[in-house]
Amino acid sequence: MSDKNLKIGNDHVGRRIDNFLISFFRDLPKSKIYSMLRKGEIRVNSGRIKPLYKLKINDEIRIPPYLIDLKNKEPNLKIPPARIKEFIKSIIYQNDDYILVNKDSELSVHSGTKNQFGLIDIARANFPLLDIDLCHRIDKSTSGCVLIAKNKLFLRHFNKQLMSNKVKKKYEAILFGVLDKDVKVKSKIDISTKEHNHKVTESNYGKEAISKFKILKKFTSFTYVEIHISTAECIRLEFKAQILTTQ
């Protein structure tokens, strides 16, 4: 990054300029970014561009000086050292492209109104020089594996695999009640997102969601099951059965 320009490398080729800026300036409101693009305050190769413009190798993005100051400021978010140590211990595997983490239950993947910081914030604090992003999400109360990308090339690769249903999602859970046999649940799910809040509802116009419950063991009042999730666009399925614990 020069005094006024960002030069695009292989990691960001093909990304839309608006999405790139939103991820680069995470603390800046989206409305501000779109306003600057509309007014021509942000330019590519000295020319005006629209938010849908797709970045090319060696594109130079002109950044207003006050945004450079914003990017270089110390982050306000302070992660407790104990949380960093817990994160390091939770790493199952990592290489140059990704980190596989065993997320604890009751730890959100994102910060929010009730959470000062989430898993992604801890990861970014531990790897400040890397372009850290979540590849997928699991609920706060759910423990299990979460994949975190170290660069945009791997993030796009994983997203393509996810969207084409080449990624298998498997959960284990204890359910109230005893299932007589394996169950297959089909529904149509619609999802809306505002900031980091996701609302999932059943809708005739939603995407098809399928979950298969395979019985692993029966108890007097509970059933231990394995759940395979398959969705048209990998939308999270809200199970009608109440899940007590998940892994």
The pLDDT tens digits for 150-180 are 988 899 899 888 878 788 878 899 999 999 9
**Equal CATH topology for 5-72 and 169-246:** no
Kindly give, in sequence order, each residue whose CB lies less than 8 Å from that of residue 242, ignoring residues fewer than 6 positions away: 175, 176
Topology of domain 169-246, CATH: Pseudouridine synthase (3.30.2350)
Topology of domain 5-72, CATH: 3.10.290
pLDDT reading at 106 higher than 70 = yes
- State the DSSP code for 15: -
Domain 81-163 class, CATH top level: alpha beta
pLDDT on residue 193: 56
> Which are the catalytic amino acids?
139
pLDDT on residue 208: 81
pLDDT on residue 145: 92
* Ranges of each domain in the chain: 5-72, 81-163, 169-246
pLDDT on residue 137: 86
With 0-12 / 13-18 / 19 or more C-beta atoms within 10 angstroms meaning exposed / middle / buried, residue 185 is middle
Is residue 167 within 8 Å of 161, Cβ to Cβ?
A: yes
User: What is the pairing mode between strands 5-7 and 43-44?
Assistant: unpaired
pTM: 0.60
Sheet architecture: strand order including 144-149: 91-94, 98-103, 144-149, 133-134
* β-strand partners of 193: 198
Higher local confidence (pLDDT), 134 or 3: 134
Is residue 204 within 8 Å of 189, Cβ to Cβ?
A: no
